Structure 1
Amino acid sequence: MTDRSTTVIMDAQDFDEDLVRRCFAGVTRHRAIIVTSGTDQLDFPLPKNVSRLHLSDGRVKNRAQRINLAAGAAGADGTEFLSLLDGPAELTDEAIEAGLRVIDGPQQSRVVSVLPFVDSGPAREDFAVRGSSGPAFATRPRMSRGRLLTLTFWQWNAVRGLDEKSTVPNDSESELVYRLTWMGNSVKFLPPRHCLLFSIAPGEASAADARFCPPADAVAIRQTRATVEKNKRPIRNLQSWTYPSNPDRPLVSVVISTYNRADYIKDSIDSVLGQTFGDFELIVVDDGSEDETVDVVRSYRDRRVRLLTQENQGIAAARNAAAAVSRGFFTAVHDDDDIMLPERLATSLNAIDDEHHASYGSWVNFDNETAAMVLHTTKQEFIHGTVFTNGQSPGHATWLVPTAYVRRLKYDETLSSAVDHNLSIRMMRSGVKWQHTGKIMFLRRIHPAQVSITDVSRQKFAAHLTRFTVQVPASYENIAELKEKSKTIGWPGIPEKADLLGHLAPYLPDHLVYRTMKVSAAVANKALTLDKLADTGYVLGEVDHDNDRKFETGELLDLKIRDFPVLAEHGITGTIHATLRRDLSEGRETPESGGQWDEAYAVSRAISDRVPTLLKALSRKGREPALLLLPGEADVPVNGAASHREWTVVFGRSQAASYNVLGYEDISEADKRLNELSPELRGQAFLVAEAPLTEFIEGARQDA
């Protein structure tokens, strides 16, 4: 019977039938997946325990993507262990099981095994087995470039598989081994004492195999290592991963502990579901709420949202309960009344490297009534000295820490406040090294009901108590030394510091801001996805007559925080603009409150985004480019223009205006053409240059 807990994966691109059969003739107790892409479909029968995964998707372009998709398919089918065969070799059940013996368990293992290929050049009788102690060699086995790498699916998922943008694509497994060690795993190299894994040398099967058997010389190994060590981040494929994430095996568990937060928790959850990085689960622990908090959480249909309920036991007990059931390798902390910024998880993961196990960052407090903002940050390093100097620890809702550490050390359930301060210091004292991201991670809502206001005395006492426990074992000389060291640690530079509101207003709660979003391409489809067909300010369709290309952009109105998860789910991107509601001018920005959009105002909104791009394309040193907008129905001579485009601007419910857009490298040329027009046509024309663009838009706004 085939053991389905272990799956062997091999990239069989360009392999023939004979080579595939030689690779798996000795495998009967374990299953295998061979993967190909493009036109290479391996149209021949396979052994029963070997399945074929053919990827016809044009996006699959390299070996790492093929391996990742195959590993993901195996994981979705329940595989706990992966054996990656990185070249043609005569695989056996004994070779697979030799690797499995050194691995402790599917989730606890911190060991990966590597069984090198043996060169099959010498005669097979030279590798005679004598007795039960293992092979005795008449000819010493010579290692070949290639290996069987065995690891748990848990380990593979924690680093997100092979790097799909690797700079060493022909040695992806070596790179993977380095990254696994950076995550705290040890590597067990298995010498050929109990089994042999013979490589299939180039020429024995087909010429295509030569690419899998480069010489295993020291120079090549050093080159691979030098290339790999240029990027010490173990977790790759954060922005895009060919393998679709499995909700049952997430990389990150986001944990929210809540109590009577029905008014705020929806914003909190929506901000998490709006992350650009989507490989997470969201665990919400309700600590005995007496309002509608549980009903709000249960209203979500996203598989990633998990609700735990318990009698009121305090925040520490709630977070420990979440840690006990978390499925993510990492835990990211979030609070029930705060707003997580869209890049928060990706930024946190990107800060993990070969020296740091956990990450943290800065945050911004905002007043829930006025939107006033205050930046909060901690020093670039979190060590004993920083605790002695100012008592600071990483902001709780900026944490990204391995879940195993939270389970092992736990939150102190004897404390009602400052439980985060206590745990972070105990983690630091246990050897956990923290890395500051240098970024703002979330917006902290300041309101009368939050713990830091209602339980301020206990929070301060708990923080002082924890700080005292750190100081007690240290001598005065040691404390002084650590304080001096702390003085050399700098503060992170936060680029948004100069204009917090300008950068972060789009993420404030709906009652504080009114949002619009400019999107490009398939505007109507995106509006339909977001249920914004009735809230579309304009759609600008452009035909480039010079290059026979089409372009489309538009503005969606009244975007809500609840729309952020939809943007993330469908990969819709664009520029979000937010205006404080107190600054809105008589409904001008909000048609729902009575403002009407006429042609001039709709065109001004459309060109405010598109015109700068066109002017930049026309820019030449020492000259000032300009655009001439003329009615679309007019017979316009285009000779002398550097570019010719046609615009159709749709606005309101069914109104539209069309324009011919002539581009000139210098405003004098555009002005000359304008003066050559008939008086009637000249009166309908717009001359737009970079310098007066703002004035033009404001003029159109006032006319409207």
Structure 2
Amino acid sequence: MKDISIIIGFKDWGPERILGAVQSLIDATKNVDAEIIVSDYGSESPLESRDKINQLGAHYYYFETNGVWSRSRALNAGLQKASGRILATTDADMIFTPDTFRLLVDLMDSDPGQYTLMQCRDLPEGIDHEMIHSGKVSFSLLNELSVFRPRWGMGGLIAVTREAYMSSRGLDERMEIYGGEDVDFAKRVRRLGLRQTWLEDPRARMYHVWHPSSRVAADATPEGRAAIAKNRDIHVNDKSITRNIESWEFSPETMPPLVSVVISTYNRAKYIASCIESVIAQSFKNWELIVINDGSTDNTKAVVASFTDERIRYFEQENKGLAAARNRATKLASGRYIAVHDDDDLMLPNRLADSLRAVEEGFNGTYGGWIDFIHETGKRTFNTGKNLSLESLLFNSGACLHPTLFLEKRMMEAIPYDETLRSGSDYNLAIRMQRAGVKLKHSGKYFIMRRLHEEQITNTDSEIQKASGALSSFFGRSTMQWADVKVARDARAEKDRVAIQAQKSIEPVIIAYLPDELVQRRANVQILPDAAPGEATKKLLSRAIGFEIRELNNSFATSALRINDLKLSELFTLLADTAVRVDVETTPTTEDAKLLLGEPIVLNDLEIRNIDNAIRHLCVEHVELLDRSFVLEFQADDLSYLTGKLTGIFPEGSLLKLRLSEGKSLARWICLTSIRQNEMIELLSTGKLGELASNGVESRVYTISEMS
């Protein structure tokens, strides 16, 4: 491993400019074990610079792009190839003094809990790389001629440890064209708890070679102005530490897990398979799963062994109790964060991603709401959780459910579970963490579905659990006077209320995760472009019914793959495969499993802004009509006129409408008709649809056919 990797990102900057920057870095790293990586992010003539850069001793990599410049992605692409324990990013318009990187490495090594920035000095117009490298101007003269650049905002250099880069998951790849990506990255590294330092040794200098302003060039186009505004919005309003959570295009080729999911289990072979499947199906993929088998006497070991995912780590021990098993899992965890999970519960697919998004500066972790469901009936109770404090734990019920906890590992190491408690160690831990000052932020999301069944500790060990809770509560109140207790109890419901996603929006989603005997599922599957589904997904798709949707001129529009009678384990298989996108429609088959807030959302109420998704939804919802149907797309600036005319044109009951989007001046509809082909031909031939066009309504007609 190199001491330091230095990355330059560029596109179409010309060979003289990039070669001058590389030569400066070569000269400035002669006394340190370094590698220099040049990330060419989509130049039109890549070969012009490649050979010369490699001859100088740097490493050149070219990356195909969609044509849009992104400094974030360009640097991440180069960092993907880096091997240094220290990672530094800079620009192709910088010149460094010879001792800069030796001093930088020495400073970083003096304190691993820091990251380092350098202040850039602007050179006047007329001094270029050739003049500097040829010796026509000296560094002492550059120092006299240059002026300080403001410390924040316009590139320069930032150096971080490899661990910090992995924990932040790089520069935010949403940012494009220009602006804010370096400042945003530096602030997020600081939110990790690292100390910010500046390399201010007079022997270390960084000079910026003049060129026309990139900011001015970006501001000159609507696309550039929009990108600058978007980047600013991300930088100012997104307070999270971790980015590129569900999609990191240029993630390092090897990286440790960021999150350790920990499960302690005892005789739960009946439920642990779906528990593990819900972890594998997470939209965030950089995790490890640690399963501690606490002396089970059933076939738990065989169930866990049936999973071949290399991210699962399985350990056994004699029965020592839940607290001891969880403490062992903490010691074994290699992630920065620990996500607690119970062996009979189900994670909702975005649980880990939503947890990472919720962790902000000043917080050690997060937690969320949960849905209790009775395993035998599917009856559900939504629990929002509450603002977490010592007072809410002591004087308000349902503040935080332990298996929604997502916390820095170092906190779990500093405050372990009390192994003297046979039950209730989770509540005891929460009390002690609050007394120790651990800060947790409610995510505003539901995280898990908690399965209620007869074998739960709450049912089998209830008396001991109550006694343990009473003991922990006594400990929590031990420093409170009666007046303190009175104040702490006052208006708890109002003080502890949290904002969380609406039940009516989440309930139609979560019913898909009820047991197979309580619901029927059908899935609409889309294979993503240039993606290859896994073997398990291919097996499921082999029983899918496929439909092609074409315009009347026979040009392809989109397709739909529908799988009926989908089992829960099969749903998790599809969700785990990043090559496919899955929409699930679930029908409860028992009274208790039905939606609590009315009937399922119907198509007329869906607002879907993508034409392909809209057509696929129609195909899934009305598959019985697909062998004798047409899809029509309409755009109009007068919604009432459009709906009135469509009602008059089509036979009663034959038109099913789906609103795509409705702005101030445009209504867009997708319609599925159940009329027969000869009826559609008659409508087209009589010109009734043509009448719409004469009144400003654009329309398209698609045919649907089953794929072979």
Is the TM value for this pair above 0.5? yes
Normalization by structure 2: what TM-score? Answer: 0.76
Separation (CA, whole Å) in 1 of partners of 2:426 and 2:304: 24
1:26-37 correspondence runs (5 A): 26-28=28-30, 29-37=33-41
Amino acid in the other structure paired with 2:378 = A
- Partner residue of 1:175? 184
Give 1:100's match in structure 2, choosing from 97, 105, 111: 105
- Partner residue of 1:649? 705
- Cα deviations across residues 174-200 of structure 1 (Å, max 9, x unaligned)? 11111222232221122234x322314
Alignment CA distance shift 1:533-1:10 (3 Å):
closer
Separation (CA, whole Å) in 1 of partners of 2:218 and 2:526: 46
Alignment CA distance shift 1:86-1:500 (3 Å):
closer
Contact 2:39 2:78 in 1 (8 A): yes
Amino acid in the other structure paired with 2:34 = H
Alignment CA distance shift 1:97-1:398 (3 Å):
farther
Kindly indicate whether residue 163 of structure 2 is the aligned counterpart of residue 154 of structure 1: yes
Separation (CA, whole Å) in 1 of partners of 2:237 and 2:300: 47
Separation (CA, whole Å) in 2 of partners of 1:347 and 1:255: 17
- Cα deviations across residues 451-490 of structure 1 (Å, max 9, x unaligned)? 2221212222222222211211223333333333745424
Secondary structure of 1:73's counterpart equals coil
Give 1:80's match in structure 2, choosing from 81, 85, 90: 85
Contact 2:72 2:173 in 1 (8 A): yes
Give 1:620's match in structure 2, choosing from 639, 642, 647: 639
Secondary structure of 1:473's counterpart equals coil
1:49-198 correspondence runs (5 A): 50-58=58-66, 61-74=69-82, 77=83, 79-91=84-96, 94-103=99-108, 109-119=112-122, 127=140, 142-143=148-149, 146-166=155-175, 169-193=178-202, 195-198=203-206
Amino acid in the other structure paired with 1:160 = R
- Cα deviations across residues 292-313 of structure 1 (Å, max 9, x unaligned)? 2122222222222122222222
- Partner residue of 2:660? none
RMSD: 4.0
- Cα deviations across residues 335-360 of structure 1 (Å, max 9, x unaligned)? 11111111111111221223433111
Separation (CA, whole Å) in 2 of partners of 1:314 and 1:59: 57
- Cα deviations across residues 100-147 of structure 1 (Å, max 9, x unaligned)? 344469xx9432111223445699768499xxxxxxx88897357543
Deviation (angstroms), 1:270: 0.5
1:600-611 correspondence runs (5 A): 604-605=622-623, 607=625
1:530-545 correspondence runs (5 A): 530-533=538-541, 535-536=543-544, 538-545=545-552
Deviation (angstroms), 1:23: 3.3
Give 2:332's match in structure 1, choosing from 302, 309, 325: 325
Contact 1:518 1:553 in 2 (8 A): yes
Kindly indicate whether residue 393 of structure 2 is the aligned counterpart of residue 387 of structure 1: yes
Contact 1:126 1:139 in 2 (8 A): no
Give 1:257's match in structure 2, choosing from 257, 264, 267: 264
- Partner residue of 1:280? 287
Amino acid in the other structure paired with 1:572 = V
Amino acid in the other structure paired with 2:160 = L
Contact 2:551 2:703 in 1 (8 A): no
Alignment CA distance shift 1:383-1:547 (3 Å):
farther
Deviation (angstroms), 1:272: 0.8
Separation (CA, whole Å) in 2 of partners of 1:246 and 1:561: 32
Contact 1:84 1:148 in 2 (8 A): yes
Contact 1:315 1:416 in 2 (8 A): yes
- Partner residue of 2:343? 336
Normalization by structure 1: what TM-score? Answer: 0.77
Amino acid in the other structure paired with 2:2 = R
- Partner residue of 1:24? 26
- Cα deviations across residues 186-226 of structure 1 (Å, max 9, x unaligned)? 21122234x322314125xxx69899999xxxxxx9x9989
- Partner residue of 2:461? 455
Secondary structure of 1:573's counterpart equals strand
| Percent of matched pairs sharing the same residue | 26
Contact 2:121 2:146 in 1 (8 A): no
Contact 2:265 2:292 in 1 (8 A): yes
- Partner residue of 1:661? none
- Cα deviations across residues 629-687 of structure 1 (Å, max 9, x unaligned)? 33389976723235463534339xx7xxxxxxxxxxxxxxxxxxxxxxxxxxxxxxxxx
Contact 1:393 1:421 in 2 (8 A): no
Separation (CA, whole Å) in 2 of partners of 1:89 and 1:370: 67
Alignment CA distance shift 1:269-1:611 (3 Å):
farther
- Cα deviations across residues 399-436 of structure 1 (Å, max 9, x unaligned)? 11111111221122222222222222222222222211
- Partner residue of 1:559? 566
Separation (CA, whole Å) in 1 of partners of 2:310 and 2:534: 24
**How many residue pairs are counted as aligned between the two chains?**
610
Alignment CA distance shift 1:272-1:247 (3 Å):
farther
Separation (CA, whole Å) in 2 of partners of 1:607 and 1:48: 66
Structure 1 gap ranges (5+): 130-136, 215-220, 585-600, 655-704
